[in-house]
C-alpha cells in the first residue's frame, strides 16, 4: 500500500510539476488540481441541489441591473481575448495550420500565456450564468447541455493554461470569444430592449454560429494529424475533437428541437387552433345540410318541428 501511494505521489509530481509550464504554474487557479476540483464541486452542488432548494419557497430575484453590468463586461472581456488572439496571428506570425507552444519568456510567448490565463478566468466568471438562472428561478435553462458546457470549459481552460498556454490552441479562444461577444450582446439587448429581443430574428443564427465554431475547432485540430513535422502535441486531438463533436451534436439537437419541431409534436396553441377550426367547419357543414334538407322537403321539416 505504501509503495502504491508513493508511486501515485511521484506520478502527481511528474504531471503537475515537471510537465507543467513553469511560467504559469504559480498563477491564480493554475497550481494543483485541488482548487479546480473544489470550484466545480461547489458549482455543481449549488446549481443542481442547494440553490434550487434555497429558492423553492422564495420569489425570484430581480437581477436586471446586475446583469446589465455583467453582460456588458462579458462583451468587453470577450473582445479583449479576440484582440489578443488577432495580435498573435497578424503581428507575431502565428500560423493557423500548425503553431507549437513557445515556452520562452519573449513578449509574444508571454502574451499568449497571459491570454490563456485571462480566457480561463473568463470561463470561471461564466459560471455566474448558471447562478443567475438559479436566483431568478429559471430552472428550465439549467439543462444538461448548459452545465456540461460550462464544466468542460473550466477543465479545458485549466489544463491549457497549466500545460500548453499558447500555440495551436489560441484559435479556440479566438473562435469561442467571437461567439460569446455576440451571445452576451444578445443577453444585454434582452434586458434593455425585451420587445426587440423577443422578436429577434437573429436568435437562430446565434446557435448556428456556435455549431460552426465547434466544426471549425474540430477541423483546426484534426489537420495537424496530416502534418508529421508539426511540433504541437497530437494527444490534444483526443481531447479537443471528441469534446467539440459532442457539444456540436448537443447544440444541433437543441437547434432542431427549438427551430424545427416535428409535425407530430405540434405546439399546443397550434393544436388548439386546429381543433377550434375543425369544430367551426363541422358546424358550418351541419347547418348547410340542414338548410338543404328544409329546402328540398319543407313539409317534412315542419312535421319534424311539430313532432319535437
SS3 content of the chain, % helix, strand, coil (to 5): 80, 0, 20
Residues with Cβ within 8 Å of residue 267, at least 6 apart in sequence: 261
**Annotated catalytic sites, by residue?**
149
C-alpha cell at 42: 461547489
d(CA 122, CA 300): 84
Q: How many whole angstroms separate alpha carbon 180 and alpha carbon 72?
A: 11
DSSP state of 303: H
CB distance 54 to 139 below 8 Å? no
108 contact partners, CB below 8 Å, separation of at least 6 = 88, 92, 102
Q: Please tell me what DSSP assigns to residue 166.
A: S
CB 240 within 8 A of CB 173: no
Q: Are 115 and 241 in contact (CB under 8 A)?
A: no
- How far apart are the C-alpha atoms of 254 and 144, rounded to whole Å? 11
Q: Tell me if 169 sits within 8 A of 153, measured CB to CB.
A: no
CB 172 within 8 A of CB 225: no
Which residue is listed with cell 437543441? Answer: 254
Amino acid at each position: 500500500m505504501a509503495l502504491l501511494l508513493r508511486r501515485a505521489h511521484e506520478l502527481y509530481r511528474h504531471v503537475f510539476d515537471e510537465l507543467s509550464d513553469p511560467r504559469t504554474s504559480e498563477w491564480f487557479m493554475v497550481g494543483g488540481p485541488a482548487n479546480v476540483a473544489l470550484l466545480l464541486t461547489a458549482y455543481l452542488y449549488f446549481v443542481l441541489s442547494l440553490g434550487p432548494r434555497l429558492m423553492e419557497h422564495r420569489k425570484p430575484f430581480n437581477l436586471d441591473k446586475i446583469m446589465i453590468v455583467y453582460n456588458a463586461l462579458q462583451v468587453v472581456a470577450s473582445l479583449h481575448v479576440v484582440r489578443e488572439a488577432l495580435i498573435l496571428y497578424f503581428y507575431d506570425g502565428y500560423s493557423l495550420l500548425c503553431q507549437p507552444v513557445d515556452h520562452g519568456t519573449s513578449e509574444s510567448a508571454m502574451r499568449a500565456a497571459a491570454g490563456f490565463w485571462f480566457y480561463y478566468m473568463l470561463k470561471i466568471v461564466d459560471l455566474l450564468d448558471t447562478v443567475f438562472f438559479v436566483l431568478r428561478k429559471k430552472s428550465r435553462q439549467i439543462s444538461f447541455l448548459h452545465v456540461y458546457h460550462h464544466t468542460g470549459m473550466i477543465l479545458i481552460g485549466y489544463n491549457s493554461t497549466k500545460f500548453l498556454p499558447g500555440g495551436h490552441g489560441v484559435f479556440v479562444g479566438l473562435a469561442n470569444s467571437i461567439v460569446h461577444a455576440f451571445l452576451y450582446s444578445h443577453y444585454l439587448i434582452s434586458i434593455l430592449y425585451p420587445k426587440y429581443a423577443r422578436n429577434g430574428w437573429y436568435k437562430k443564427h446565434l446557435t448556428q454560429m456556435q455549431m460552426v465554431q465547434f466544426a471549425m475547432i474540430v477541423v483546426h485540430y484534426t489537420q495537424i494529424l496530416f502534418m508529421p513535422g508539426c511540433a504541437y502535441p497530437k494527444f490534444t486531438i483526443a481531447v479537443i475533437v471528441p469534446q467539440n463533436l459532442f457539444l456540436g451534436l448537443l447544440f444541433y439537437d437543441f437547434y432542431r428541437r427549438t427551430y424545427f419541431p416535428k409535425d407530430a409534436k405540434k405546439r399546443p396553441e397550434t393544436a388548439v387552433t386546429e381543433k377550434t377550426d375543425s369544430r367551426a367547419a363541422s358546424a358550418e357543414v351541419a347547418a348547410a345540410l340542414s338548410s338543404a334538407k328544409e329546402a328540398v322537403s319543407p313539409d317534412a321539416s315542419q312535421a319534424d318541428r311539430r313532432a319535437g
